Structure 1
Amino acid sequence: MLLLTEISVAYWSKAEKLVNSWFSLEIMIVSVLILVLFFAVIYANNHFKKILISIMAGIIIFTGITVAFGSSYSKSYRQLAKYVSPVNRNVMPKSFGYEYVGDRRGSYVLVADVTKTLKLPFYKKEVHEVVNPEFLGGNEYLYFFKIDNYIYSISKKEPSLQLSDKIDKMIIKQETAVLKFKEYETIGFLDQVGPANQQVILPKSKITQQYEPNTKVYDFKI
C-alpha cells in the first residue's frame, strides 16, 4: 500500500479504473461462468462432473487471488475516494470512463467543503483575509458590514464570530484548498476549492454602534 502522501496521478487513475470498472467486470464474467458450469455439472456424467467442479474451484480461487491483490493495491485510493465530490472535481468515475458533473469553481463553498478537500494529500491550505471589509454596526440580533458595496449580516450568536480588543478594524479570514500538482487537473480535479469564510473578528470598541439597513442585506455564510 502506498503512503497517502505518495499518491500519484498514474496510481490514482489505475486504482480508480480497477475499482470502478475491472472489479465489476470480473465479478460479472465470473458469475456467468460459474452459473453456466453449475448447470453443466447437473447434467454431466460423473467423470465430467469432477472436471467441471475442478474448473469452478480454479476460477473461484483465481478470482479470490486477483480481488485480494486488487484490494491491496487500491487501498490507498479507496481511503481517499470518500473525500472526492463535485465540490473538488468536475468528473466522476463510471464503468470504463468518466461522467462530467459540472465545474463549481466560483460557487459558494463551506469551510467543511475545504476541510474535506484537504484530506486529499495533493491539496494544500491557504489562509487569507478579505480586503477592506467595513463594519457598519448592529441591532439586537445581527451585526452588519459591507464588502464591495454589498451589505452582509451575521448573527451575534455565530460560533465563528470573535470579538477582540486588539484590533480597530474588522477582519474576515478565509481558507482555500489549492492543488499542489497541476497534473491532477488532467483527471478533473479543480485547481482550487474556495475561498470559504472561516472566521469574522470584530473590534470590541465598535460593536456598540447601532445600525439598521435600508437596502438589501445578504446573509454572510460560514
Structure 2
Amino acid sequence: MVVVASAVVAAVGGDPMTVLGEDGLRRPAWAAVDPLLRTYYDTEWGMPVRDERGLFERLSLEAFQSGLSWATILRKRENFRVAFADFDPEIVAGFGQADRERLRADAGIVRNRSKIDATIANAQATLALRDEGGLADFIWSFRPRTTPVPRELADVPTRSAESLALSKALKRKGFRFVGPTTMFALMEAVGIVDTHLLDSHRRGTSGIWS
C-alpha cells in the first residue's frame, strides 16, 4: 500500500509493518504516512456501520476496489457519492441505460462496466432484502464468535469461513463482486471483525471487540 519513510516514522518492536508516528500513536504501515489514509484509519476503518445506506456504500466501494488500491478508491470517494446519488439504494436501483452511459463516461470514478452494472444490481438486491430484515441485519448475521488477534500484518487473514459464507449467501441473493476476500475486507472496514494490530492505538476502539 504505502511505502513508509523511516525519516517520518520509526519502527516499533523491530516489526517494519508497525510504526510509531510523530504524534506518538502506533499504526500499521499502510496508514502511517498518507494523510488521507491516516485519517481514514484513525476515524473510520473498523468502526461499526449498521445502516442500510452506509453498508451499501461500503459494499459498493469494496467492489470497485477489487484489483486496485484502497487509496485510489478513497481519493475518488466523494466523486462516487455524487455519481451514485450518495449511495441511496432506492435511487441507484432505478438507474437506467442513460445512467450507465453517464457513469462509464465519468472520469471521477472507476469506469469499469462490470462494476458499474454490479452496483446497480446490488442496489436492487438490497431493496429485495428489506423483506428479510434488510442488508444490515443480513451482513451482521455473519459476525464470527471471535476476531483475529494479529501482532503484525502477516497475521491478518484475507478471508475467513464467515466471509466465505457471507459471499455465498449474498450471491444467492443476486449480489455481484462479493467474493470472500472482498467480503472479509468489508467485515474489517465496518467493524464485524477487528484486525487492528494489537499494538495499534485503534485496537479495541470499536466497542464490538475488546
Q: Which TM-score applies when normalising by structure 2? A: 0.20
Higher RCO by CA contacts (8 Å cutoff, separation 6 or greater): 2
**Max Rg structure:** 1
Q: Which TM-score applies when normalising by structure 1? A: 0.19
Quick check: which one's strand share is greater?
1
Quick check: which one's helix share is greater?
2
